[in-house]
Every structure is written in structure tokens, then in C-alpha cells.
Amino acid sequence: MRVRRLVIAAWAALASLLAIGSLAPALAAASGSGGVLVVGDSLELLTIPYLRRYLPGVTLTTNAVGGYNSYQIYDLFRESYDPSQSVIVFDAGTNDNPAYPQILAGNLAEVAAQIGDRCMVVPTVHGYTVNGIDNDGKNRTVRSFAASRPGTQAPDWAGAVAAHPELLQSDGLHPTAAGAEYRAQLIAQGIERCLAHSHSAAPQATISAAPELSTVDRFARREAAVAAAIAGSLAEQVALQVAGEQPWLPTALAMVSPYA
């Protein structure tokens, strides 16, 4: 109860500071203000409408173009990135030639170099096999990147498709409506974890397991739960940051192949 009272007190102090505009720039400069940037290809285009449904309390900036490879999606990131954003969803790799996983590795590194300590969500890749080469190399790249960068979330879309091929359209690449909603759940969980850990010490990288396939009622319950969790976690995170940062508050708390 004492901790709860301190958090409430710090949150009240934050509200007062924001009213006079004295703290907002400092929070934005540290690690964003809770916004999320989502960039990707046609898979992300199909996912975004459901993603908005699962994250109703989160400011989403989206920029996705069908058929784009990792280089082009990196350009979308550069067009849309703002320091006020706390989480970057880099949904790329599907349209890269699987013989060259270094394409994805290089662009992930470029994004990471520009965003500081902001959290990233990087889904694993399900794409076509080309000349006998599958997407294992791309997915090793994703997992290696997640392991090397604390807090990075890697929703396992490739694993979900392997377990539930019915999530795909007849082309074997794009998700059905149910698959896009399922994919949105995976990515929303990664975003939620990023937001929850945005101010915690040494967050762990996570390779996310696929959620259980749900009924419509379960989807609705999940949506409400995600919204409540995000609202609660953001309030506590900002309050704790205020307590730590304000001295008067310590006692209060190119080789590509287009598919998607």
C-alpha cells in the first residue's frame, strides 16, 4: 500500500508539472512519450487495422507499403521516425532474398543505431523459399538481433504459421483476416512488453510464443486486458521516472526479391 501511495503521489506531481509544461521535453528526450511507430510491407498493411483495435490507448504512427524490402522499409522508418516515439516495430524481411540475410541484419542495425534505448519489435519472417533457400537465415538474424539488444521483442510469426498454416491465404504468404488478427495479437503483445519495460533496468529480449487461437469473445477480452495493462503500466512508469529525475521528488518515488 505504501508503494501504491507513493506512485499515486508522484503521478499527481507529474500532472501538475505537465500542466505548466516544465517536464514534457525531458520525458520525450529520455525515451519517448509512449508513441509507437510501425513500418512494414503488405503483411503489416493487413495487420495494422487489427493492431489499432488491440492497442486503443496507444498513439500509433504507421507507414507500410506492399512489396517493400528491408532497405525500403528502412527508408519508411527514416521518413516517419520521431524522438517522441517510444517503440519501433520494424516488420521487414519478407521481401528480401533469403540467400542474403545480411540485408535484414544491416537494416536492423541502422535502425538500432538511431533510436538509442527505445524498444524494438521485430517479428520473425515467413516468406517464400527461393532456389531451395528458406527463411531460416532471416530468422536467425532476427533472433540474434533480439538477443543482442536488451528489451527487443521478436513476435514469432514464422512459428505461428508453421503451427497454423490455415492462417495464410491460398498464396501461402499473406494472412487471412483471421491470420492478420492473430498476427496483430503477437505484435501488440510485443509492444505492450516494450511499453511496460521502457523504464525498467536491463529488460530481457523476448522471442514471443504465439497466443492460443481465440474465439471472438476471447479476442474482445484480450483487447480490454491489453488496454488496461498499457494504461496501468504507463502511469506507473512515468511516475517512477519523475521520481528518479526530479531532485525534489525522491521521497515521493539491394539483393532483394519482391513477394509481399
Residue 10 forms part of a structural domain: no
Report pLDDT digits (tens) over 107-156.
Answer: 999 999 999 999 999 999 999 999 999 999 999 999 999 999 999 999 99
Report pLDDT digits (tens) over 202-213.
Answer: 444 445 555 555
Identify the DSSP state of 27: H
Contacts 24+ apart (CB under 8 A), 248-255: 249/10, 249/13, 252/6, 252/9, 252/10, 252/13, 253/3, 253/6, 253/7, 253/9, 253/10, 254/71, 254/103, 255/96, 255/97, 255/99, 255/100, 255/103
Host domain of residue 140: 30-245
Report pLDDT digits (tens) over 244-254.
Answer: 444 433 333 34
0.75 exceeded by the pTM?
no
Residue 214 forms part of a structural domain: yes
Report the sign of the C-alpha dihedral through residues 105, 106, 107, 109, in that order: positive
Name residue 206's beta-bridge partners: 153
Residue 6 forms part of a structural domain: no
Residue 8 forms part of a structural domain: no
Residue 1 forms part of a structural domain: no
Residue 69 forms part of a structural domain: yes
Residue 112 forms part of a structural domain: yes
Query: Domain tally for the chain?
Result: 1
Residue 5 forms part of a structural domain: no
Report pLDDT digits (tens) over 15-66.
Answer: 433 333 332 333 333 477 899 999 999 999 999 999 999 999 999 999 999 9
What CATH number did the domain enclosing 220 receive?
3.40.50.1110
